[in-house]
Amino acid sequence: MNPVLKLENINKKISDFFSLRDINLEFFKGEAHVLIGENASGKTSLMKIIAGFYLKDNGKIYIDNKEVKINSPADSKKIGISMIHQDFSLFDHFSIAENIFLESKKYSILSLKIIDFESMCSECDNLFAKFNIKLDSKTKVKKLSFAQKQLVEVAKAYVNKPKIIIMDEPSSSLTINESKILFNIIKELKKLNSVIIFISHRIEDLNAIGDRISILREGKIIFSSATLNLSEDKIINLMTGMDYSKRYPKLNIQHGREILRVKDLTSGKTFKNLNFNLYKKEILGITGLAGSGKSKLARCIFGIDKIKSGKIYLDNKFVNIKNTIDSIDNKIGYLSEDKYKDGLFLYLNIPLNITAPNLKRISNGYFIDKSFEKELTNTYTKKLDIKYANLYDNISQLSGGNQQKIALAKWIISRSKILILDEPTIGIDIASKVDIYNIINELVTKGSSIILISSDINEIIGMCDRVLVLYEGEISKTLTRENLSRDKIIKYMVKLGDNNL
Amino acid sequence: KNKASSPLIESKYSNEEYYMITFLSGIEYWKNCYSGFENASKAFGVKTIYTGSPEYDVNQEITILDQIIAKNPSGIAISCINPDAFETSIKKAINSGIPVVTFDADSPNSGRYSFLATNNRYAGEKGAKVLSELLGENGGNIVILTLPIQLNHEERTKGFVNAVKNKYTNLKVVKISNGRHDQTEAAKELSGILQSNNNIKGVFCTDSTSGVGAATAVRELNKIEKIKIVSFDTDNGTLDYIKSNVISATIAQGTYSMGYKSMNFLFKLNHDYIKKGIEPDDSVIPPFVDTGVDIVTKENVDNYYKYDLGIPKK
Amino acid sequence: MKESINNIFKNNLLVTYRKLSAIREMTVLISIIFISIILAIASPHFITKDNLISTTIGLSSDVIIVIGVTIVLISGGLDLSVGSIMSLSGITCGMLYLYGVNIWIACIISILIGTSFGFINGYFIGKIGLNPFITTLAIAGISRGLSYILTEGSPISLYGVPKSFSNISQSRIGEVPIVILVIFLVTLICDYLLRRSDFFRKVFYLGSNEKAALLSGINIKKIKIIVYVSCALFAALAGVLSTARFTVVTPSAGIGAEMRSISAAVIGGASLSGGEGTIIGAVLGVILLNIINNGLILLNVPVYWQDFVNGAILLLAVTIDFVNQKKRKELH
Amino acid sequence: MKESINNIFKNNLLVTYRKLSAIREMTVLISIIFISIILAIASPHFITKDNLISTTIGLSSDVIIVIGVTIVLISGGLDLSVGSIMSLSGITCGMLYLYGVNIWIACIISILIGTSFGFINGYFIGKIGLNPFITTLAIAGISRGLSYILTEGSPISLYGVPKSFSNISQSRIGEVPIVILVIFLVTLICDYLLRRSDFFRKVFYLGSNEKAALLSGINIKKIKIIVYVSCALFAALAGVLSTARFTVVTPSAGIGAEMRSISAAVIGGASLSGGEGTIIGAVLGVILLNIINNGLILLNVPVYWQDFVNGAILLLAVTIDFVNQKKRKELH
Ligand SMILES: Nc1ncnc2c1ncn2[C@@H]1O[C@H](COP(=O)(O)OP(=O)(O)OP(=O)(O)O)[C@@H](O)[C@H]1O
Ligand SMILES: Nc1ncnc2c1ncn2[C@@H]1O[C@H](COP(=O)(O)OP(=O)(O)OP(=O)(O)O)[C@@H](O)[C@H]1O
Ligand SMILES: [Mg+2]
Ligand SMILES: [Mg+2]
User: What residues pair up with A363 in beta bridges, in sequence order?
Assistant: A368
- pLDDT, tens digit, 9 for 90 and up, residues C259-290: 999 999 999 989 888 888 999 999 999 999 99
B285-308 burial: b if 16+ Cβ within 10 Å, else e: beeebebebbbbeeeebeebbbeb
Residue C140 · residue C80 · CB < 8 Å: yes
How far B17 CA lies from chain D's nearest CA (Å)?
22
- DSSP, collapsed to helix, strand or coil, labels residue B285 as coil
pLDDT band at C11 (very low <50, low <70, confident <90, very high): low
Inform me whether the pLDDT recorded for C320 exceeds 90.
no
How far C199 CA lies from chain A's nearest CA (Å)?
8
- pLDDT, tens digit, 9 for 90 and up, residues D123-161: 999 999 999 999 999 999 999 999 999 988 888 888 888
Subunits next to B (3 or more Cβ pairs <8 Å) are C, D
For residue D3, the surrounding DSSP H or E stretch is helix D2-42
Burial label, B197 (beta-carbon count in 10 A; 0-12, 13-18, 19+):
middle
**Ligand 2 pocket member A404 (CB < 6 A):** no
Q: Bigger pLDDT: C175 or A468? A: A468
CA B82 / ligand 3 centre spacing (Å): 65
Can you tell me which atom of ligand 2 is nearest the CA of A219?
14
How far C122 CA lies from chain B's nearest CA (Å)?
28
Report the pLDDT value the prediction gives residue A32, as an integer from 0 to 100. 92
ipTM over 0.90 threshold: no
DSSP string, D82-118: HHHHHHHHHHHHHHHHHTT--HHHHHHHHHHHHHHHH
Q: Do chains D and C touch (3 or more CB pairs under 8 A)?
A: yes
Closest residue in B to C239 (Cα) is B59
In angstroms, the CA B182 to CA D258 distance is 14
**Residues A347, D212: C-beta atoms closer than 8 Å:** no
Inform me whether the pLDDT recorded for D328 exceeds 70.
no
- pLDDT, tens digit, 9 for 90 and up, residues B251-297: 998 889 999 999 999 999 999 888 877 666 777 889 889 888 899 99
Report the pLDDT value the prediction gives residue D321, as an integer from 0 to 100. 74
> For ligand 1, atom 3, which residue shows the shortest CA distance?
A143
pLDDT band at C319 (very low <50, low <70, confident <90, very high): confident
Residue D174, Cβ neighbours under 10 Å: how many?
A: 4
- pLDDT, tens digit, 9 for 90 and up, residues A226-281: 876 777 778 888 887 777 777 888 888 888 899 999 999 998 788 888 999 999 99
**Ligand 1 pocket member C332 (CB < 6 A):** yes
pTM of the shown model = 0.89
Subunits next to D (3 or more Cβ pairs <8 Å) are A, B, C
Instruction: Name which of D274, B294, B243, C248 is nearest A345 in CA terms.
Output: D274
Ligand closest to CA A336: 4
**Ligand 1 pocket member A473 (CB < 6 A):** no
In angstroms, the CA D98 to CA D101 distance is 7
B144: which residues sit within 8 A by CB, 6+ positions away?
Answer: B157, B160, B161, B173, B175, B176, B177, B203, B204, B205, B206
Q: How would you classify residue A6: left for phi > 0, otherwise alpha for psi between -120 and 50, otherwise beta?
A: beta
For a substitution probing ligand 1, which of A287, A296, A337, A456 has the most ligand atoms within 8 Å of its CB?
A296
For residue A195, the surrounding DSSP H or E stretch is strand A195-199
Contacts across the A-D interface (CB distance below 8 Å): 98
Inform me whether the pLDDT recorded for D330 exceeds 70.
no
- % of chain D exceeding 70 in pLDDT: 90
Give residues 272 to 291 of C whose Cβ lies within 8 Å of A. 275-276
Can you tell me which atom of ligand 1 is nearest the CA of A292?
21
A320: which residues sit within 8 A by CB, 6+ positions away?
Answer: A326
Which residue from D128, D305, D309 is facing C319, i.e. has the nearest CB? D128
Hey, which of A383-387, C69-73, C168-172 has the most confident mean pLDDT? C69-73
**Ligand 2 pocket member A387 (CB < 6 A):** yes
| Residue-by-residue pLDDT tens, chain A, 501 positions | 789 999 999 999 988 888 999 999 999 999 999 999 988 899 999 999 999 989 999 999 999 999 999 988 888 888 999 898 877 788 988 899 989 988 776 666 666 677 778 888 899 999 999 998 989 999 999 889 989 999 999 999 888 888 999 999 888 889 888 999 999 999 999 999 999 999 988 888 888 888 999 999 999 999 888 876 777 778 888 887 777 777 888 888 888 899 999 999 998 788 888 999 999 999 999 999 988 999 999 999 999 988 889 999 999 999 999 999 999 999 999 999 888 778 899 889 999 999 999 888 888 888 888 889 999 999 999 988 898 888 888 888 888 889 999 999 999 998 899 999 999 998 888 888 888 898 899 999 999 999 999 999 999 999 999 999 999 889 999 999 988 888 899 989 887 654 444
Q: Bigger pLDDT: C62 or C6? A: C62
B207-231 burial: b if 16+ Cβ within 10 Å, else e: bbbbbbbbbbbbbbbebbeebbbbb
In angstroms, the CA A30 to CA A33 distance is 10
Give the least confident one: A404-408, B305-309, C254-258, D316-320. B305-309
Q: Which residue stretches of chain B have pLDDT < 70?
A: 1-10, 278-280, 307-314
In angstroms, the CA C169 to CA C277 distance is 29
Asked if C127 is an interface residue toward chain D (Cβ–Cβ < 8 A), one would say no
Can you tell me which atom of ligand 1 is nearest the CA of A299?
18
**Ligand 2 pocket member A454 (CB < 6 A):** no
For a substitution probing ligand 1, which of A90, A141, A145 has the most ligand atoms within 8 Å of its CB?
A145
Q: How far is CA C226 from CA C114, C160, C220, in A?
A: 14, 37, 10
CA A337 / ligand 4 centre spacing (Å): 6
pLDDT band at D2 (very low <50, low <70, confident <90, very high): very low
Q: Pick the residue of C134, C215, C267, C313 with the most D CBs within 10 A to test the interface with D by mutation.
A: C134
Asked if D142 is an interface residue toward chain C (Cβ–Cβ < 8 A), one would say yes
What is the number of helices (H) and of strands (E) in chain C?
Answer: 13, 4
Strands (E), B65-104: 75-78, 100-103
Q: Which residues of A touch D23 (CB under 8 A)?
A: none
**Residues C138, D318: C-beta atoms closer than 8 Å:** yes
Residue A92 · residue C208 · CB < 8 Å: yes
Report the pLDDT value the prediction gives residue C23, as an integer from 0 to 100. 65
Q: How far is CA A213 from CA A24, A166, A205, A234, A239, in A?
A: 13, 14, 11, 13, 12
Can you tell me which atom of ligand 1 is nearest the CA of A175?
25
How far D2 CA lies from chain B's nearest CA (Å)?
59
Closest residue in D to A371 (Cα) is D196
- pLDDT, tens digit, 9 for 90 and up, residues C90-137: 999 999 999 999 999 999 999 999 999 999 999 999 999 899 999 999
**Ligand 1 pocket member A295 (CB < 6 A):** yes
Contacts across the B-C interface (CB distance below 8 Å): 104
